Amino acid sequence: MTTEALYLQQIINGLSLGAMYALLALGFTLVYGILELINFAHFNVFMVASFIGMWALELLGLSGQGVILTGFALVGALAFGFVVTMVLAGLLGVAVERIALRPMRAVRGTAAMITTIGVSYILFNAVLLTVGADSKNYPNPMPDMHWDIGGATLRLREVLIWGVALVLMAGLHLFVNRTRLGKAMRATAQDAEAARMMGIDVDRVIITAFFLGSALAGAAALIFGLYYNYTSFIIGYSAGLRAFTAAVLGGIGSVTGAMVGGILIGLIEALGGQIVSVRWDDVIIFSILVLVLVFAPSGLFGRPSATRS
Amino acid sequence: MAGRDRAAPRRGTIGAETFAFLWRASPVQWIAPHWRPRVAVALVTLAALVFPVLHRNDADIDSAANALAYAALALGLNIVVGFAGLLDLGYAAFFAIGAYTYGAFASFQIEPSWSPFWQPFEALGLVAHIGDVVHFTVSFWLMLPVSALVAALFGVLFGAPTLRLKGDYLAIVTLGFGEIVPIVARNTPSVTNGAMGLNGVAAPQLFGWSFGVDATPYYYVGVALVAVLIFASGRLKSSRIGRAWMAIREDEIAAAAMGVNRVKFKLLAFAIGAAFAGATGTYFVAKLQTATPEMFMFPVSVMILVMIVFGGIGSIWGVVVGALILQMLQSWFLQDLSQWLHALGRLLDVQWLQQIELVQSIEMIFGLILVTMMLYRRQGLIPATRNVRALTMAEQTAQVELAAPPPVERLRGDFTYCGPDPLLAINDLTVRFGGLVALRAVALTVPARSVVAVIGPNGSGKSTLFNAVTGLVTPESGSVQFAGYPIERLPPHVVLGRGMARTFQNIRLFPNLTVLENVMIGMHARLHAGVPGALLHLPRTRREEAEAREHCREILALFGNRLTPRADHVVSSLSYANRRRVEIARALASSPKLLLLDEPTAGMNPAETLELAGQIKSLHGHGLSIVLIEHKLDVVVSLADNVVVLDHGEKIAEGPPDVVRRNEEVIRAYLGRSASLGNAPQESAPRGSAAIA
């Protein structure tokens, strides 16, 4: 491969990673926008969802990369996988909110965030103790279709990932900006107290934010499995931190910011691994996180709210 | 232990009467109450000292020595999270820094080639000349404080960028640093030997005798380390430094307004917390004789956090107990329980019971503990704040005694300013929030020993005026001179130091601290104890503390028997009026020359208002100058020499009270246009009409 082709390949990879991080980042940003809460449970809701997706596909008789589908069968199987994963992941997010976070809502300070760390640990270990520590081969019914673009390879799975991510993000955008509940969400994000006094059911808005965010994490989780062909109990932490960094980089609380930030982090990871070294990937990501928080806490699109008044 | 003798009477839930009975029947009653904590500490110390003698199992002593290391870490994190309220999710980084600092200077990892440069170090015994390379052999005992110092420097380095950040963002940045440190360690094998782990870290030596691999000497070093850190934590907590930390934790803005230098004390908390971890890292790596980056990753930081949440955030004995219990759970109890389950499985011939390994589920248990404690018992096993006996009915309904004459002699000198300039001179002060002009070219002079009232409708800029004068808000233009010196660019804590103290319209006390602690924080700027003074209880510090306590009690006595009987009560349990009084007392404790009171009588009934007005008057009689924001005009008339009226950020009138209250423009500002024409129904502006009446 020529150097140009190598970089082009990394850009393609970066866009795929970015699409996944963007979907995952939206969950952080939706919840933060409304509750000002950094939800560590989101990391492992994503991880659990990747297993849900795996089981959903296995329910269709798919296992490993042995069974290949085409045409409507492929579309149907994937649609089934996405719908089941997103709905169940969404419900898991709602359960987390309902059981662990709602009682903490009146508590000031970082107590709620500490609780989400605990929830994240519980999800993590629940999977570790039941499913086991070895990584699982992910069912992937996609045919090995690919195109050659300037020396780089564009695979069907990448096109599919971009397509799904675009549809979901467009859908979320329409939901937030065009529906009644979306308007209620934006109002609550601005001022929850005022929204409540205007007759908005804030509990419902919060539940919706958790459902949508977790459902998008579900989509990201299935994309992860289809992209890497494996899943494991440890995938939540590193993907989650990258997505969180994406949300911060875009401006936490901003839906557009999460999308742009996700793509940027995906590109940075792919190209950074190429240019520097994969060993320093995490340091690069964490440095971005720290630098953005310290020097530009409102990110690219966010409201300035990270510093104390 | 302090926790034990308090435990019984406090539980109000299950079997409270049984507890109470056991408590009364227990041998603890034979010991005089003020001796109990000392006896408890002595017993715990004794138990810790004889444990390895009585229990001669090397593996168990080794587990105990490890547990002590985590107790030391919990104590350090408790300084940062518990005292100063700064959530640190990357605390293990400092543990790593301490460990690798010792590892670098006492192992075969770094071996530069020999040159005469090393000669003096060899003479000091810091390095050895082996073959043609230098071998570092710095003593463990020297490295303990050195590692603590190195970690403290990193604490300041990592703490500095987070100072402006809100709690959750601060946590994320610390998490970032916490992850970066072990990755750097893994990726720089020349110093750390990367993932393989440090090579041959030297065991500590004492008078030429090496500790070797026997667990007992390490255990005793661990006991000593934890004892020293408990002692240091206790001394710091009850000092001026601890009070400043807790003030920042409770309300940062109020802490700054009461003279606490936020930057300095936050960094101090980071540094001391990191120092604890640095020393512990040295202890731990000397004991283990290797170190790998995996020992310092995020799960370790979380584990320490779980320990302090479990034991009680901010509670010294609580975090030690929390750390010990969780470590013992991990290394003893879960293993035993697994063995028992295996035995049960063999007995019943159940296969899966024989394969259960509960130790693997320790992180699950951590998660469950974290969530359960947060939902049901946030104060932890041994809460930091102890409950104080409630006042009896008689005390609560006691006749208010106001006649107690304030100790005039003590207070007079403090309050009086006798310079040539006016005490406060504000000129042309403009404050802008985005597009909104909150104050426009306001001028105001407060002569020494006068009372100036600032009145005006809601939103007219009165509180903004106070914020701008005290440094909480930066004015766009204009000058503020206090006793002849410009102060408009000074941070709030410096302004307080110059002699200007304030109260807040919506009361900003430190809610979880006692009345006395709140007032003591007011004295922060007048006290001088630093870390050495706090740790060593130097005579000077002890005297200063005793005098400060005495002084604060005198100030509480200014309010008759309102506050004195409640001195040890947590302020959040006080009535609204009493909280207002505490806030005034806190401001007075800073010995201000000028006191800014923002609606001191808001929410008080007429009798209480009258009482407070009398007290303010008597303070003025002691030479204190006062600026007062007030809506109740009868208070204004009875106290103020001069009244300034603000409306929409501009001064619209100024003069003696009875002139101002007849001013057409003032009446219009308060009651609206029609009222000034004399035909407004009284009900149309209840607040204004009450004020003017």
Q: What does the DSSP assignment read for B225-248? A: HHHHHHHHHHHHHTSHHHHHHHHH
**Closest C-alpha to B225, from B67, B117, B50, B37:** B67
Distance from A113 to chain B by nearest Cα, in Å? 7
Q: How many CB atoms lie within 10 A of CB B683?
A: 7
| Number of alpha carbons in the 13 Å side-chain half-sphere of residue B135 | 12
Span B85-134, pLDDT tens digits: 999 999 999 999 999 999 988 888 888 888 888 888 888 888 888 888 88
Minimum distance, in Å, between the CA of residue A80 and any CA atom of chain B: 32
- Judged by a CB distance cut-off of 8 A, whether residue A115 touches chain B is yes
The reply to whether A3 touches chain B by the CB within 8 Å rule is no
Q: What's the pLDDT tens digit per position in A146-189?
A: 899 888 899 998 998 999 999 999 999 999 999 999 999 999 98
Angstroms from A244 CA to nearest CA on chain B: 10
DSSP of B165-221: B-HHHHHHHHHHHHHHHHHHHHH-HHHH-GGG--S-PPPPEETTEE-TT-HHHHHHH
Residue with structure tokens 């709140």?
B518
A180–chain B nearest CA distance, Å: 31
Examine the pLDDT at B413 and tell me if it is beyond 70: no
Which tokens go with B596?
Answer: 């800014």
Best of B173, B183, B302, B304 to substitute, by most chain A Cβ atoms within 10 angstroms, is B173
Mean pLDDT of B278-284: 96
Give the whole-angstrom CA distance, residue B481 versus residue B487.
Answer: 6
Residue type, A179: T
Q: Does B303 touch chain A (CB under 8 A)?
A: no
Q: Which two tokens stand for residue B550?
A: 């005495």
Q: Tokens at residue A151, please?
A: 């020396």
Compute the radius of gyration of chain B from its Cα atoms: 31
Q: What is the C-alpha to C-alpha distance for residues B329 and B359, in angstroms, rounded to an integer?
A: 9
Does residue A120 belong to the interface with chain B, where contact is any CB pair within 8 Å? yes
- Assess B469–A contact: CB distance below 8 Å, yes or no: no
Do A122 and B171 lie within an 8 Å CB cutoff? Answer: no
Residue with tokens 């003032």: B666
C-alpha closest to that of B129 among B117, B140, B141, B139: B117
Return the residue of A nearest to B313 by Cα. Answer: A111
- What is residue B670's predicted lDDT score, i.e. its pLDDT? 76
Write the residue in A100, A129, A294 that is nearest to B161 by C-beta.
A294
Q: Could you tell me what percent of chain A has a pLDDT over 90? A: 68
Confidence of residue B490 (pLDDT cuts 50, 70, 90): very high
* pTM of structure: 0.90
Q: CA nearest B309 in A: which residue? A: A114
Measured distance CA(B338)–CA(B243) in Å, rounded: 46
Chain A residue with the nearest C-alpha to that of B174: A290
- Give the confidence band of B332 by pLDDT, cuts at 50, 70, 90: confident
Q: Which of A41-45, A221-225, B58-62, B323-327 has the lowest mean pLDDT?
A: B58-62
Nearest to A306 by CA among B94, B18, B613, B171: B171
Task: Please say whether the beta carbons of B565 and B391 come within 8 A.
Answer: yes
Collapsing DSSP to helix, strand or coil, A49 comes out as helix
Residue A210 has pLDDT above 80, yes or no: yes
Q: Number of helices and strands (H, E) in chain A?
A: 11, 4
Please give the pLDDT value at position A67.
81
Pairing relationship of beta strands B133-136 and B127-130 according to DSSP bridges: antiparallel
- Residues of chain A contacting B312 with CB distance shorter than 8 Å: none
Which residue in A has a C-alpha nearest to residue B164's C-alpha? Answer: A307
- Give me the mean pLDDT over the B344-364 stretch: 85
Q: Which residues contact A286 (CB under 8 A, 6 or more apart)?
A: A241, A245, B176, B177, B179, B180, B183
Task: Please tell me whether residue B423 adopts helix, strand or coil conformation.
Answer: coil
* Mean pLDDT value across chain B: 87
Element (H, E) at B61: helix B58-77
Confidence of residue B18 (pLDDT cuts 50, 70, 90): confident
Residue of B nearest to A129 (CA): B361
Is some CB atom of chain A closer than 8 A to the CB atom of B375? yes
Which are the contacts of B552, defined by CB distance < 8 A and separation ≥ 6? B516, B519, B520, B522, B523, B585, B589
CB B262 within 8 A of CB B248: yes
Mutation choice for B interface testing from A286, A288, A307, A309 by most B CBs within 10 A: A286
Handedness of CA B212, B215, B217, B222 (dihedral sign): positive
Average pLDDT, chain A: 91
Please tell me what DSSP assigns to residue B224: H
Whose tokens are 């930057």? That residue is: B263
Is some CB atom of chain A closer than 8 A to the CB atom of B350?
A: no
- d(C-alpha B76, C-alpha B274), whole Å: 7
Residue carrying the six token digits 């509480």: B556
CA distance B650 to chain A (A): 25
Query: Which amino acid does the sequence have at B530?
Result: G
Yes or no: say if B232 and B537 are a contact pair by the CB < 8 Å rule.
no
Distance separating alpha carbons of residues B509 and B579, to the nearest angstrom: 8
Gap between the Cα atoms of B282 and B144, Å rounded: 6
Please tell me the predicted confidence (pLDDT) of residue B372.
94
Q: Chain B residue closest to A238 (CA)?
A: B179
CA distance A196 to chain B (A): 23
With a cut of 90, say whether residue A109 has pLDDT above it. no
Point out the residue among A36, A100, A290 whose CB comes nearest to the CB of B371: A100
CB contact under 8 A, A282 and B369: no
A122 in contact with B, Cβ within 8 Å: yes
Chain B closest-CA separation from residue A119 CA (Å): 6
Q: What is the mean pLDDT of residues B556-582?
A: 90
A284 touches chain B (CB under 8 A): no
Q: Using CA atoms, how far apart are residues B106 and B119, in angstroms rounded to an integer? A: 18
Partners of A136 in the β-ladder: A231
Chain A CB contacts of B374 under 8 Å are 104, 111-112, 114-115, 118
Euclidean distance between CA atoms B292 and B99, whole angstroms: 10
Segments in B422-487 forming alpha helices (H): 462-469
Beta bridge partners of B424: B446, B482
Please tell me if residue A58 touches chain B, with a CB cutoff of 8 Å.
no
Angle, in degrees to the nearest 10, between helices B58-77 and B316-328:
140
List all residues 6 or more positions away from A198 whose beta carbon is below 8 Å from its beta carbon: A187
* Residues in chain A within 8 Å Cβ distance of B161: 290, 294
Contacts of A40 in chain B (CB under 8 A): none
Name the amino acid, one letter, at A279: R
Please, how many CA atoms are within 13 Å of residue B27, restricted to the half-sphere of its CB?
A: 2
Residues of chain B with C-beta less than 8 angstroms from the C-beta of A286: 176-177, 179-180, 183
Beta pairing class for B477-482 and B485-486: antiparallel
A125:B87 CB<8 A: no
Q: How confident is the model at residue B466 (pLDDT cuts 50, 70, 90)?
A: very high
- Of B85, B165, B367, nearest to A293 by CB-CB distance is B165
Q: Shortest Cα distance from A40 to chain B (angstroms)?
A: 11
Among B672, B370, B388, B66, which residue's Cα sits nearest to residue A117?
B370
Is B184 at the interface with chain A, CB within 8 A? yes
Identify the pLDDT of residue B10: 46
Say if A283 is an interface residue toward chain B (CB within 8 Å): yes
User: What is the C-alpha to C-alpha distance for residues A55 and B544, in angstroms, rounded to an integer?
Assistant: 69
B171 in contact with A at a CB cutoff of 8 Å? yes
Q: B151 with B101: CB under 8 angstroms?
A: yes
What's the 3-state SS for B131-172? CCEEEECCCHHHHHHHHHHHHHHHHHHHHHHHCCECHHHHHH
Cβ-in-10-Å burial (0-12, 13-18, 19+) of B413 comes to exposed
CA torsion A41→A46→A50→A55, rounded to 10°? 50
In Å, how far is A110's CA from the nearest CA of chain B? Answer: 6
Residue that is written with structure tokens 């007992």 in the block:
B216
Give me the numbers of helices (H) and strands (E) for chain B, helices first please. 31, 14
Tell me the mean pLDDT in the region B420-434: 90
Q: Retrieve residue A223's tokens.
A: 């994309």
CB contact A43 to B (< 8 Å) = no
CA nearest B181 in A: which residue? Answer: A283
Judge: B172–A306 Cβ closer than 8 Å, yes or no: no
Q: What is the pLDDT of residue B16?
A: 66
Distance, in Å, from the CA atom of A213 to the CA atom of A236, rounded to the nearest integer, reads 15
Q: Are B453 and B424 in contact (CB under 8 A)?
A: no
Confidence of residue A13 (pLDDT cuts 50, 70, 90): very high
d(CA B532, CA B538): 8
| Model confidence pLDDT, tens digit, residues B200-259 | 888 888 888 888 888 999 999 999 999 999 999 999 999 999 999 999 999 999 999 999
**For the segment B146-200, what is each residue's pLDDT rounded down to a tens digit?**
999 999 999 999 999 888 888 888 999 999 999 999 999 999 888 888 888 887 8
Cβ contacts of B187 on chain A, cutoff 8 Å:
279-280, 283
Burial class of residue B73 in the structure, from the number of CB atoms within 10 Å of its CB (0-12 exposed, 13-18 middle, 19+ buried): buried
Q: With 0-12 CB in 10 A as exposed, 13-18 as middle and 19+ as buried, what is B662?
A: exposed
In chain B, which residue's Cα lies nearest the Cα of A244?
B172
Amino acid type, B344: L
Q: What is the pLDDT of residue B522?
A: 94
Position with higher pLDDT, A122 vs A277 = A122
| Range among A89-93, B46-50, B289-293, B590-594 rated most confident | A89-93
